[in-house]
Amino acid sequence: GLSGYFGTKSRYEEVNPHLVSDPLSLGPAAGGSLPSSCTPLQLRAVLRHGTRYPTAGQIRRLGELHARLLRRAAGAAACPAAAALADWPMWYEESLDGRLAPQGRRDMEQLARRMAARFPALFAARRRLALASSSKHRCLQSGAAFRRGLGPTLDFGGDEVEVEVNDSLMRFFDHCAKFVALVEENDAAMCQVNAFKEGPEMKKVLEKVASALCLPVEELNADLVQVAFLTCSYELAIKNVTSPWCSLFSEEDAKVLEYLNDLKQYWKRGYGYDINSRSSCILFQDIFQHLDKAVEESKSSKPISSPLIVQVGHAETLQPLLALMGYFKDDEPLLADNYARHAQRKFRSGRIVPYAANLVFVLYHCDHVNASQEEYQVQLLLNEKPLSFHHSNETTSTYTGLKDYYKDILENCHFKEECQLPKVNITAVDEL
Ligand SMILES: O=P(O)(O)O[C@@H]1[C@@H](OP(=O)(O)O)[C@H](OP(=O)(O)O)[C@H](O)[C@H](OP(=O)(O)O)[C@H]1OP(=O)(O)O
């Protein structure tokens, strides 16, 4: 099927297929677990919102393409694919603009229930849950759904869904002037993405789609073909149906369109430019400040003030953070002209940040089993699967070992300085 190639529009089930038959299953047991003398002290989760509707811009494009097919279908010659799509009811309205879909609420409720089942001691009654979110509607709604998923038996301080808006941590990219000016608002920054849209792989896809739709190829462009592919992904994620839009694409085409989406993620949120990941150091440091605090409290036998911290953001919250930490980095950059060389790449956004993606830091306190064992240990889970630490290749690390590995970021990455616009007016991409 095509569903493995939907990039950031992938269902969470793509990375955890066992959830299809049982949404509450914890899946295969993760290796490398800690001894029973270790108890979790703090859990910090950074989530992407659940399944959402397309953004207004994409809905507008889809409307345009659909209208074109309607006009085409009114013409003389028979063209079955175009006729089928002209008949397809265009039900997306611009007002849906990236809002959380009902499936997105379920994504979050179920994720919360699995997390609680995985860490029963932390999610026990009367533990404090600090819940924060980006100001976007889909994230606030995701936060509320997550909390609802924890259910009435867990007492997190009454019924009111208190989700704190925290854009400085969840939308740090908006507040980073250097990122906004040099990447977000700089057309030249996306030159690899734009070059790929005009390149030979996309040209082939365009010609195939144009021929299936009996349209002159000049009437199509990469953005319209991409929206057709996106619609296939949205219909599956939101409505769980295989839409007629999917029939326009083969698996080969899907791989090309996945690469197009990954190129955007790479240059806007990943390794493409340093500022993409550096802008997230404010979030990275916040995570370690809270871990530090929990260690201090534990050392002085105080109750942990924030045992559970859950924050809901975007693909563009998680992806830069993972890049800052060095995950999913290929030897070669993703470029318009090295599609073929990247068939086995690590950077596949559908595997990293599907809907409801989650990165979880768990801090443990371990009673001394022997003198050499460190008291504080950490585990990292991405989409509920252990991530190996780069410094050890293991799935658990001593807290001091982890801090030592990221010492430079923790000490020398300052959001304000990193995000300051350079005094000279640079917009050339090679100077970024
Ligand atoms: O779906 P698109 O192409 O409109 O892009 C989304 C962005 O919309 P925009 O291009 O600014 O209109 C959208 O931007 P806003 O937050 O709406 O400003 C997000 O960046 C979204 O990521 P996520 O789904 O919230 O994790 C973006 O989605 P992904 O690129 O993460 O799939």
Average pLDDT per 10 consecutive residues for the chain, totaling 432 residues: 97 98 90 81 98 98 94 74 91 97 98 96 86 98 95 59 91 98 97 98 97 92 97 98 96 98 98 98 98 97 95 98 98 98 98 98 87 85 97 95 98 95 69 63
Between CA 145 and CA 104 the distance in angstroms is: 9
Between CA 157 and CA 162 the distance in angstroms is: 9
Q: Residue 302: which residues within 8 A CB-CB, separation 6 or more? A: none
- CA-closest residue to ligand 1 atom 23: 314
Cα 56 to ligand 1 centre (Å): 10
- CA-closest residue to ligand 1 atom 7: 55
49 catalytic per annotation: yes
- pLDDT value of position 168: 98
Cα 60 to ligand 1 centre (Å): 14
11, 51, 55, 268: residue to mutate for ligand 1 pocket, most atoms within 8 A of CB: 55
- pLDDT value of position 156: 56
Q: Residue 405: which residues within 8 A CB-CB, separation 6 or more? A: 389, 390, 391, 397
- pLDDT value of position 233: 98
CA–chain centroid gap for 346, Å, is 15
- pLDDT value of position 328: 98
Q: Which of 18, 49, 137, 368 is catalytic?
A: 49
Q: Which residue has the tokens 């397309």?
A: 54
Contact 304, 297 (CB under 8 A): yes
Cα 55 to ligand 1 centre (Å): 7
Cα 279 to ligand 1 centre (Å): 18
Strands (E), 296-357: 308-313
Contact 44, 309 (CB under 8 A): yes
Between CA 321 and CA 169 the distance in angstroms is: 11
- pLDDT value of position 73: 73
Cα 425 to ligand 1 centre (Å): 27
- pLDDT value of position 28: 85
Ligand 1 contacts (CB < 6 A) are 8-9, 48, 52, 55, 57-58, 98, 136, 314-316
Contact 313, 48 (CB under 8 A): yes
- CA-closest residue to ligand 1 atom 14: 55
Taking the CA of residue 315 as reference, the ligand 1 atom at the shortest distance is: 26
Q: In degrees, to the nearest 5, what angle opens at C-alpha 95 toward C-alphas 92 and 96?
A: 55
- CA-closest residue to ligand 1 atom 27: 315
- pLDDT value of position 194: 98
- CA-closest residue to ligand 1 atom 32: 8
Provide the whole-model pTM: 0.95
Between CA 287 and CA 238 the distance in angstroms is: 32
Q: In degrees, to the nearest 5, what angle opens at C-alpha 396 toward C-alphas 14 and 44?
A: 65
- pLDDT value of position 236: 97
